[in-house]
Structure 1
Amino acid sequence: MSKIGLLRYFLAASLLPVAAWADGGVQLTTVTATRIPDPVAKVAAGVSIITKADFEKRGYTTLAQALSAVPGLGVVQSGGSGAQTSVFIRGTNSEDVLVLVDGVPVNDPSEANGAFNFGDYTLSDVERIEVVRGAMSGLYGSNAIGGVINIITLRGSGRAKASVTLAGGFPSQGQASAMVSGSSGKFDYALTGALDEESGFDYTPKRMSVYAGVKDPFRSQLASVNLGYTPVPGTRVYVVGRAQQTTAGFPDLGYPIYDDPNNYDKNTNYFGKLGVASNLFNGWLSTELFAARLDNTLHNTNLLDAADPNQVQADEVYHGTRTDVQWNNTVHLPYVGRTSDSAVQFGAEYINDTAHERVNDVYFGSPYVALVGASQHTWAGHVGAQTTLLRRLTLTGALRDDAVSSFGNALTWRVGGVLAVPEADMRLKASYGTGFLAPSLYDLYGQNSSGVYTYQGNPKLKAEYSSGFEIGPQFDIPGFGQGDFASISATYFQSDIRDLITFVSLPPSYTSSTERNIGQARVKGVESELVLNPAPWLSADFTYTYTNAIDAQTRAALLRRPQNAGSAALTFIPAPGVSITPQVQYVGRFSDYLYDNNGYPIAAGTGSSRPGTIVNLNAQYRLNDQFTLFAVGKNILGSNFEPVNGLQMPGASVLLGVRASIE
């Protein structure tokens, strides 16, 4: 064996103990990582792509489920479906994750920290999800400190086809969805409707004396449409519309925790996009102009219960809107000398956000009132370039300037490179980037009062800023007659965040509070990936992520960021048309606010929460070209893991169903 071959296998073997699930293979293409359709192999960032086929193979029906096994991501759900759910990418805050729907930023402006609630989103109309890890503000602006998640909806093409899914299971739950898509002449279409219902579980941990067995239900209704018209070849005029309403119940994290039967969130979300996309001059120029609108309303209600020791009553309305207009362009350049696949992208964006909040609550007989009524807008321009030298080294760069009405300008950038070493079946990726987070409208203008305690937003807040890098190899190794026998990677990442927006109490009485730019954080770690395909009937995916996320001043661990997390999935095809996919997810210990077995917060406030292991099992049997039977088992071993201390994850459930498709 050659020295290069020995080196290749030595490095591959050294990575195996920390290896994990691969990005999805070198043939996959991402449109999110550079705004230019690129093979994942040429992208200088951690990229994971989850397709509709993956949803079916692993039994995913919600966005939170689909993201749970992505390396570098922590999904923290405060109960079950419909509950407040946060995603932490590489240890950064939940508001540092920018979420897109078909390229449109959809973080809710009425959320107190400007984050996205991952607990409300279902997947019936989703074609694929692209996750890009690392600072991406140089392409997308605010919130993209930790990374970007792009939810890409279904689009019709080809012959007309229809599909229907019906399922039911234990405990009382049901799902139904229908989709029609295709194209006819110059028109294309995709229409989806879906209903998901669960009687729910009691998310109060059974270890607590306050456990009362109150089930917290969930209901989601979805309707979406994607219509296109191609007047001339290469130009498509389109409209996308999506409406979803979810209702969910949950207990109170009070003093003590109360198994509340009347605490409900109702979230109504509308999304619309109208645009035109063209490929001009024989494909040398791609251009797209669109306008989009997001309208989100969250209504929380809680009727007073005689048995509630906290005497809570709640009537809260959070209404956020976003108007987004973008013009994006890509110029594909001819081959010059030893360069290839060169392109320049540029564009402009206008965003206008509004937030209206009205809170009228009562705690222990005392009123709590909060109000927000504000808006802010952003003008931005961005430019980027990429090229491949000698067919080995792909270089990318991006620069963006955002002018935000609340504080001024934020200039961010990103550079990266991917070096291909085919002699060693290896690629080496490295990148460096900066990011920023604009203060939320609540941070700037929110106000509330509770007895003698008051809060007032700070309109002089600045943005949070970050800088960080990542570097690591990936090996794509053939073997045993399989061209994609093994794909192994390990990436070291580090990020520093300054001017964190931090809640502070003000002297001399410390009964009033506000927000200030005084916090700092440092995050570093390793995310590793392995995918094995030893035979056409067997594949295995593994993930492992180590994260060290701390407050740079106090050295305390940031909350709900486990140092160790990982997952494993095996897909076994014992006979034609049959697939069985068991999955195991592990979440290590993490710092959190702790509740004792009586349901009260512990005196120290924070501490180390217990780890958890969750086992799922999914099976499919394809009867023929039209019908597929499936069974989905979630948490089949009944783990009592608390992803948020004081709130237990859903118990064991089984869903049985059939998918029918007609062309």
Structure 2
Amino acid sequence: MLLATLFSSVAASAFAQDYAVPLPDLVVTATRIPTLIDRIPAGVTVISRAAIETHGYTTLVEALSTVPGLRVVQSGGPGGNGSVFVRGTNSNHVLVLRDGVPVNDPSDPGGLYNFGVDTLADIERIEVVRGPMSSLYGSGAIGGVINLITRKGTGAPHATAEMAFGVPRAAQGAAGLSGVTGKFDYSLNAESRADRGFDTTPQRESVYNGVRNKFKTTAGTINLGYTPIEGTRIGAYLRGRTSTFNLDEQGFPAYDASLYEAHDDAVYGRLGVNSKLFGGVWETAMFIARGQTDRHYIEPLEAADPNQTQSDTRYHGRRTELQWNNTVHLPDYGPSSDTALIFGYSHTLDSSHSVLAANFAGFPFQSNIRASATSNAGHAGLQTLLWQRLTLTADMREEDARYGGSAFTWRAGGVLAVPEVLSRFKASYGTSFRAPSLYDLFGVDTTGYMGNPNLRPERSTGYELGWAIDVPALGRRDAATLEVTYFNTRIRDLIQVIFAPNFMSSTTENVNRANIQGVESSLTLRPASWLETVLTYTWTDARDAATNARLLRRPVDAISASLRATPLPGLTVVPELIYTGAFQDFLIDDNGFPIGTGRAKPGAIVNLTVTYALTPQLALFANGRNLGSSRFEPASGFQTPGRSLLAGVRARF
């Protein structure tokens, strides 16, 4: 196992390579201080705008699928619920940020973020930080954080445009305008996408009928800034998205629905000011952000449905957040340099108003919640560089919530550069937590479920140890980069639904524990300036601490491989392989019936993107997904979308 691991991947540094521009020098998410990626004591992956375009990524699920330590599970194609398991933790243990602000959906029963809907036209880069991060960002960051950093106006005014068509029937277009004019900067982006889609009910199931799940989405983003004096920017940001798509029903048995439709709308806005004081010694930022999600799922009665199901479900989530963040750059003293102190305060108000009304074969079911909760938090941290080779960082956060979310968390780590042996060594340890969701606390349904307002937060401790080495060869200083990281996480007070002895009622309680360990590794080969290969391997052992059973949907083995070749001027070819090993899951048999938990089969997906730059301003591209027509089921009962091809043109004016 260790030899296989050593041969594989280093997600942090390897995939962080930008395939069209130099390596991003600085990462903000991991420490809230712009820091060189090699000095961060955590698993970090940066997916740049150039990498998004070079790999042909059009959705957030596609962009995250090759990140080591991440297991991306989508129930169907675009629109289908998308979950991410980070380093073997639960899918509600990853916190999603937009420009550093949490955007998880408070109306979701588990407080999840649906990765299955969002597209990428307005994204400048994605920063993924693995490991406990509650000491910086609060609840939900047990496994890590994913920060979606949006495009911002820079340089001379310019416009971008993209248009593509594909098979099966698909069309997408995007347009942008950005730049700096005097004291104003601006970035405007609009995107639309429509897919005929695939029937994601597995073809092995007798209920399969071939009815495709359509997907349509439209999104627009406005990012404006005004700099009245040098070093101070007043910013306003607004993003809206509306999506419509079809789904399949997993009933008893599963049914390949034809009319099940969903509408998923989201609006997010932010207003704030950033300022550099005393010649940049003190950087301070204050803003208020507001996000709202509105989801509506409608399943009309279909005569052929053996479950005779019909439902009408609405989720309305609202989150308001006020943040004040500060960075003070301290003078160099003795062996220490680049020292910075951070501190800040945040206030959050979450609310959920959700109603599920359904009828199963004449038996009515209803679930609802109308609740809100507030939290206040303060955080502080320190980072320094000693003797120009040892980076130390430490953070702590105190969070006080009205219900079930009070916690103190901390994290400390270091990276030691040893250029004499071309290596870097890293280590970190931290604590983290997830507050109960509003549904955990206050949800009710007609089967006797009632939330528990006395729940405690789920808590974790975790550490990681890593080593990276750059290997010179073929006249190149970094002909190869190898990185290996071992991680270990212990989670307690996991929230689970507990039934009464007569099964007539249920509630949530803190009863479970989990033990997780694993290895992330990557190998990047750069034999020539026109050729680069990235191989990644993740081994994960995630178990229930009480029974020692493996946790569901956490494959032991996961592999990705990609190659970026530019054999001719302007021509870039990027093949990509994603392999998911066998995993435990709730299994669905060939007749659509659930048969309990068991071993789900492994699967592999092959993608290929080809880009040809006609001029520096105009490029043609073709993107093929699942070229092998794999029938892999990332979740049992949901087949991955079939072979597709998208081709188009990308321009910059």
What is the TM-score with the length of structure 1 in the denominator?
A: 0.96
Distance in 1 (CA, whole Å) between partners of 2:45 and 2:624 is 24
Among candidates 613, 626, 629, match of residue 635 of structure 1: 626
Secondary structure, aligned partner of 2:267: strand
Among candidates 11, 17, 31, match of residue 7 of structure 2: 17
Q: What are the equivalent positions in structure 2 for 1:204-243 lying under 5 Å apart?
A: 204-243=201-240
**What are the superposed Cα offsets for residues 74-119 of structure 1, whole Å, 9 maximum, x if unpaired?**
0000000111010000000011000000111000000001111101
Q: What are the equivalent positions in structure 2 for 1:424-503 lying under 5 Å apart?
A: 424-449=421-446, 453-503=447-497
Paired residues in the alignment total: 645
Distance in 2 (CA, whole Å) between partners of 1:13 and 1:552 is 28
Distance in 1 (CA, whole Å) between partners of 2:321 and 2:228 is 25
Distance in 1 (CA, whole Å) between partners of 2:149 and 2:375 is 24
Q: What are the equivalent positions in structure 2 for 1:96-115 lying under 5 Å apart?
A: 96-115=93-112
In the alignment, residue 333 of structure 2 is paired with which amino acid? V
Determine whether 1:190 maps to 2:194: no
Q: Is the 8 A contact 2:6 2:484 kept in 1?
A: no
* Aligned equivalent of 2:505: 512
**What are the superposed Cα offsets for residues 612-647 of structure 1, whole Å, 9 maximum, x if unpaired?**
000000000000122100000000010000001011
* Aligned equivalent of 1:574: 567
Q: Compared with structure 1, are the counterparts of its residues 15 and 442 closer, same or farther at alpha carbon in structure 2 (3 Å cutoff)?
A: closer
* Aligned equivalent of 1:394: 391
Q: Is the 8 A contact 2:405 2:457 kept in 1?
A: no
Distance in 1 (CA, whole Å) between partners of 2:530 and 2:117 is 35
Please report how far the alpha carbon of residue 13 of structure 1 lies from its aligned counterpart in structure 2 after TM superposition: 9.0
Q: Which moved more, 1:25-34 or 1:61-70?
A: 25-34
Distance in 2 (CA, whole Å) between partners of 1:257 and 1:513 is 25
Q: Which moved more, 1:369-378 or 1:482-491?
A: 482-491
Secondary structure, aligned partner of 2:448: strand
Distance in 1 (CA, whole Å) between partners of 2:609 and 2:4 is 32
Identity of aligned residues (%): 50
* Aligned equivalent of 2:594: 601
Q: Which moved more, 1:224-233 or 1:358-367?
A: 358-367
Among candidates 574, 583, 587, match of residue 590 of structure 1: 583
Runs of 4+ in 1 over 3 A off after TM superposition: 12-16, 18-21
Q: Is the 8 A contact 2:5 2:537 kept in 1?
A: no
Q: Is the 8 A contact 2:284 2:324 kept in 1?
A: yes
Please report how far the alpha carbon of residue 191 of structure 1 lies from its aligned counterpart in structure 2 after TM superposition: 0.2
Q: Is the 8 A contact 1:23 1:46 kept in 2?
A: no
In the alignment, residue 469 of structure 1 is paired with which amino acid? Y
Determine whether 1:610 maps to 2:628: no
Distance in 1 (CA, whole Å) between partners of 2:299 and 2:468 is 51
In the alignment, residue 420 of structure 2 is paired with which amino acid? E
What is the TM-score with the length of structure 2 in the denominator?
A: 0.98
Among candidates 57, 60, 66, match of residue 57 of structure 2: 60
Secondary structure, aligned partner of 1:233: coil
Please report how far the alpha carbon of residue 27 of structure 1 lies from its aligned counterpart in structure 2 after TM superposition: 5.1
Determine whether 1:257 maps to 2:247: no
Please report how far the alpha carbon of residue 389 of structure 1 lies from its aligned counterpart in structure 2 after TM superposition: 1.0
Distance in 2 (CA, whole Å) between partners of 1:402 and 1:348 is 10
Determine whether 1:555 maps to 2:545: no
Please report how far the alpha carbon of residue 407 of structure 1 lies from its aligned counterpart in structure 2 after TM superposition: 2.7
* Aligned equivalent of 1:536: 529
Distance in 1 (CA, whole Å) between partners of 2:522 and 2:393 is 23
Distance in 1 (CA, whole Å) between partners of 2:269 and 2:490 is 36
* Aligned equivalent of 2:652: 661
Please report how far the alpha carbon of residue 476 of structure 1 lies from its aligned counterpart in structure 2 after TM superposition: 2.0
Unaligned 5+ runs, structure 1: 1-11
Please report how far the alpha carbon of residue 286 of structure 1 lies from its aligned counterpart in structure 2 after TM superposition: 0.8
Secondary structure, aligned partner of 2:280: coil
Q: Compared with structure 1, are the counterparts of its residues 153 and 650 closer, same or farther at alpha carbon in structure 2 (3 Å cutoff)?
A: same
Please report how far the alpha carbon of residue 564 of structure 1 lies from its aligned counterpart in structure 2 after TM superposition: 0.3
Q: Is the 8 A contact 1:23 1:47 kept in 2?
A: no
* Aligned equivalent of 2:355: 358
**What are the superposed Cα offsets for residues 183-213 of structure 1, whole Å, 9 maximum, x if unpaired?**
1000000000000110110101111111110
Determine whether 1:80 maps to 2:45: no
Q: Is the 8 A contact 2:239 2:268 kept in 1?
A: yes
Distance in 2 (CA, whole Å) between partners of 1:477 and 1:337 is 32
Please report how far the alpha carbon of residue 482 of structure 1 lies from its aligned counterpart in structure 2 after TM superposition: 2.2
**What are the superposed Cα offsets for residues 50-95 of structure 1, whole Å, 9 maximum, x if unpaired?**
0110011100011111000000000000000111010000000011
Determine whether 1:325 maps to 2:329: no
Q: Compared with structure 1, are the counterparts of its residues 27 and 175 closer, same or farther at alpha carbon in structure 2 (3 Å cutoff)?
A: closer
Distance in 1 (CA, whole Å) between partners of 2:417 and 2:483 is 14
Please report how far the alpha carbon of residue 20 of structure 1 lies from its aligned counterpart in structure 2 after TM superposition: 4.6
* Aligned equivalent of 2:611: 620
Distance in 2 (CA, whole Å) between partners of 1:437 and 1:455 is 21
In the alignment, residue 47 of structure 2 is paired with which amino acid? I
**What are the superposed Cα offsets for residues 121-164 of structure 1, whole Å, 9 maximum, x if unpaired?**
11000000000000000111100000000000000011111011
* Aligned equivalent of 1:313: 310
Distance in 1 (CA, whole Å) between partners of 2:454 and 2:369 is 16
Q: Compared with structure 1, are the counterparts of its residues 15 and 205 closer, same or farther at alpha carbon in structure 2 (3 Å cutoff)?
A: closer
Please report how far the alpha carbon of residue 481 of structure 1 lies from its aligned counterpart in structure 2 after TM superposition: 2.4
Distance in 1 (CA, whole Å) between partners of 2:255 and 2:324 is 50
Secondary structure, aligned partner of 2:197: strand
Please report how far the alpha carbon of residue 18 of structure 1 lies from its aligned counterpart in structure 2 after TM superposition: 3.4
Please report how far the alpha carbon of residue 16 of structure 1 lies from its aligned counterpart in structure 2 after TM superposition: 4.0
* Aligned equivalent of 1:117: 114
**What are the superposed Cα offsets for residues 339-391 of structure 1, whole Å, 9 maximum, x if unpaired?**
11111000000000000011111111111101100000110000000111111
**What are the superposed Cα offsets for residues 376-420 of structure 1, whole Å, 9 maximum, x if unpaired?**
011000000011111111110000000011036200000000011
Distance in 1 (CA, whole Å) between partners of 2:183 and 2:581 is 53
Q: Is the 8 A contact 2:74 2:82 kept in 1?
A: yes
In the alignment, residue 547 of structure 1 is paired with which amino acid? T
Secondary structure, aligned partner of 2:637: coil
Distance in 2 (CA, whole Å) between partners of 1:34 and 1:17 is 29
Unaligned 5+ runs, structure 2: 18-22
Q: What are the equivalent positions in structure 2 for 1:145-160 lying under 5 Å apart?
A: 145-160=142-157
Distance in 1 (CA, whole Å) between partners of 2:24 and 2:137 is 25
Q: Compared with structure 1, are the counterparts of its residues 160 and 500 closer, same or farther at alpha carbon in structure 2 (3 Å cutoff)?
A: same
Distance in 1 (CA, whole Å) between partners of 2:370 and 2:478 is 55
* Aligned equivalent of 1:6: none
Q: Is the 8 A contact 2:7 2:523 kept in 1?
A: no
- RMSD between superposed Cα atoms in Å: 1.2
